[in-house]
Homo-oligomer: A and B are copies of this chain.
């Protein structure tokens, strides 16, 4: 029975919390809060929700993660890819801007939280391993493109929606004549400034004679500067009357208590998207957390992370938010700013709560184009096309998985894209194992080592064939081995002994056992004895539970060399 402490890491780190931790966490929280205010508003926009939903989704979830999460650096909240997935899922059951839309988003967070929590309690964290890294990288890159393109409508000041690249581009082109030039100017300037702030600002700051902390703060304040500057511009010149879309009234106050919907039909419709959001969110979050933990020699517990993220999402569902997870950029900022415990997250939540209470009237004139610019610049850093180059050089199968994931995500949308990527990577793996590499081997002279007769200078014997099977034997390749042996041995009337060298066979399942039995019978018919060598312990244990070893016409040799010696007693001689 696991203790309460294992389910609530705060009981461990909370007991040793020091003053030094406190001041480090406070500084990190300050920096992250400044970064999160515009980002939360922006991601809510991306998810199709009112801006305050982004702020709310950053308060309770962070607090709950601080109690249940195991990463000391992870910053939980709305992130780009999950916001896009939310828009895609909720858009299928409700009209954007309606009350039903917001409730569906709460319901999605509720389902997602429940799924994560259940997986955590069942200790199913290992399931995340079924997503291969190239597939995730491809998916994130393609999602980044979709997100950036979906935000262009706000920069152009037009109305264009879609769930995939052709739809989005088509809608944009159809609206080109309606471009609002003032909005475009604001947006373009914002993008240019934000891009510079990301690339050049920090080094400019370092050259100024100011304290380190201030330089840190200022270098992260790029988005805030743009927000303030463009809001002022709209207010001073009444640009909203010229058609510049603004955020408008955002309710002032702490997150409200909200209820997700429990209508069975809605739950059923949102279940598959919720599973997808849970899996993608978990994988993204846990890989960030693991990377950051490894840098400080810390460990995280994937199963407990599921519980932490589950609690965070349930929190979002009941306090006006939408699905959340651990974000890459904010977690890195949190880590770099020196966050030493989960308390940094709690302080960030307090900062955002203050903002929700005090600052929301100030964003009335904030142009949506600015928020879109924030998103566009943020997702540019998610895109990584080098994975295509690296996988192309290393393995065509991995490259195919990445390329298909990227293409299908762009062409058919996020859900089809990631589902195809996962299916394809599993299918490619099975395909590879369905035609295993089987090498005919011989003895490397002067050693007891056996290698492929086609790659190495080795000794062989005319009457003995040794085949090294380079794959576990299971239903997918059981038949293949049977055919291959028939082809090699059936045609060679000189062979008297066939040795299957099983050093690379880690499993023989029931289908493969039946194939081996058939091979043994067939070889007996044509007068060839079947031997095994280098059978691994676990495989041997299992074979002993069947009739196979009793029926086997030959012997089982511990080492391949033992077999070589034993079968040398016959009247045959080396031929090379």
A-to-B contact residues, CB < 8 Å: 126, 129-135, 294, 390-391, 393-395, 397-398, 425-426, 429-430, 432-437, 439, 444, 447-449, 451-452, 455, 470-472, 474-480, 503-507, 509-511, 513-514, 518, 522, 536-538, 542, 545-546, 558-559, 561
Contacts and interface: CB of A to CB of B under 8 A. Distances in A.
B538 A437 contact: yes
B561 A510 contact: no
A115 to B, nearest CB: 17
A503 B560 CA distance: 13
B506 A503 contact: no
B537 A447 contact: no
20 contacts: A132-B509, A132-B511, A133-B478, A133-B511, A134-B475, A135-B475, A294-B518, A390-B510, A394-B545, A394-B546, A395-B510, A429-B474, A429-B509, A444-B559, A447-B559, A448-B449, A470-B538, A471-B506, A503-B504, A504-B504
A476 B129 contact: yes
A129 B451 CA distance: 29
A433 B126 CA distance: 12
Contacts of A514: 133
B134 A510 contact: yes
A493 to B, nearest CB: 14
Contacts of A542: 394-395
A536 to B, nearest CB: 6
A interface: dominant SS: helix
A436 B537 contact: no
A23 to B, nearest CB: 29
Contacts of A126: 434-435, 480
A134 B425 CA distance: 25
Most buried by B among A129, A432, A433: A129
Given A132-B509, A133-B510, A390-B510, A561 B475 contact: no
Contacts of A503: 503-504
Given A133-B514, A432-B507, 16 more contacts: A126-B435, A130-B434, A131-B475, A132-B511, A133-B510, A134-B510, A294-B522, A391-B510, A395-B542, A426-B426, A447-B561, A448-B561, A470-B538, A471-B472, A472-B472, A503-B503
Contact of A509 (B398, B505, B546): B398
A38 B337 CA distance: 82
Contacts of A479: 129
B434 A394 contact: no
A146 B506 CA distance: 37
Copies of this chain in the oligomer: 2
A43 to B, nearest CB: 29
A541 to B, nearest CB: 10
A506 B538 contact: no
Contacts of A522: 294
A506 B436 contact: yes
A379 B391 CA distance: 51
A503 to B, nearest CB: 5
A561 B452 contact: no
A419 to B, nearest CB: 14
A480 B125 CA distance: 12
A487 to B, nearest CB: 10
A370 to B, nearest CB: 37
A394 B507 CA distance: 12
A80 B532 CA distance: 41
B536 A449 contact: no
Contacts of A394: 510, 513, 542, 545-546
A272 B503 CA distance: 41
Nearest to A302: B479
Nearest to A131: B475
A425 B507 CA distance: 14
Most buried by B among A133, A434, A444: A133
A430 B437 contact: no
Given A390-B510, A447-B559, A475 B430 contact: no
Given A393-B546, A504-B504, A130 B476 contact: yes
A425 B561 contact: no
Contacts of A132: 474-476, 509-511
Most buried by B among A511, A513, A538, A542: A511
Nearest to A132: B475
B470 A506 contact: yes
Given A429-B474, A449-B448, A478-B129, A398 B436 contact: no
Given A479-B129, A509-B398, A561-B449, A545 B471 contact: no
B434 A430 contact: no
A109 to B, nearest CB: 27
A518 B294 CA distance: 10
A70 B75 CA distance: 63
Given A475-B129, A510-B390, A511-B133, A559 B437 contact: no
A479 to B, nearest CB: 5
Contacts of A505: 504
Contacts of A538: 437, 470
A506 B536 contact: no
B475 A536 contact: no
